[in-house]
Amino acid sequence: MQRKERFQHFIDYFTTHQPDAETELQYSNPYELLVAVILSAQCTDKRINKVTPAFFERYPTAEVLAASHFDEVFPFIRSVSYPNNKTKHLIGMARMLTEDFNGIVPGDIRELQKLPGVGRKTANVVASVIYNQPAMAVDTHVFRVSKRLGLVNQNSKTPLEVEKQLVRYIPDEYIARAHHWLILHGRYVCLARTPKCDECKIQHFCRYYERNRK
């Protein structure tokens, strides 16, 4: 099967079965999503959703967070991965957001990446979720699933390589949702160690299934 065919099957299936896929991180405004995505690096959304309610109650805005100190913030996120670095990043992000962006989360990916703790993946998530831009954030699930399905080259070694291929073949109108399609499929079906191929509904265009399970 040619790559274009796989992409068409991919879009056809998910627009039918998961047309409204969205992030599982809980948030109510752009600032909260930005905080949640920074916290979610190398950590599960489930864990982050347990931490953020108390965090947002104490630090409801970037201005409040910007005025805080490490020892105040750290206890709220001590249960997530790399809490020391993330505490520093969150305070630095809030201060820059307040001082340089008037407290408004920017929609431009380059501007977002100026904020402490915000790499390309985080910037793409915020730009796509908040501003519905055609930005493809590549996390471990997107990286794995897109290669298994055969949507991208098997020898792709970096998230940026994968991102460029996905953006090239997926129409702009679907890119923001496609990020969530790949994540959710990887989180619940196409697991890293033991993919649930027998339960998978997209076997018919999966390169991994073609080669390993038929």
Which residues belong to the active site? 121, 139
**Among the listed residues 109, 88, 112, the one whose alpha carbon sits nearest the alpha carbon of residue 31:** 112
Is residue 178 within 8 A of residue 170, CB to CB? The reply is: yes
Quickly count: other Cβ atoms within 10 Å of residue 133's Cβ.
17
Q: How far, in Å, CA of 73 to CA of 207, rounded?
A: 46
For 185, the enclosing helix (H) or strand (E) is: helix 172-188
For 31, the enclosing helix (H) or strand (E) is: helix 30-40
Is residue 180 within 8 A of residue 141, CB to CB? The reply is: no
- Please name the amino acid found at residue 171: P
Q: Is 43 annotated as a binding residue?
A: no
Specify the DSSP class assigned to residue 106: P
Residues annotated within the binding site for [4Fe-4S] cluster are 190, 197, 200, 206
Residues annotated within the binding site are 190, 197, 200, 206
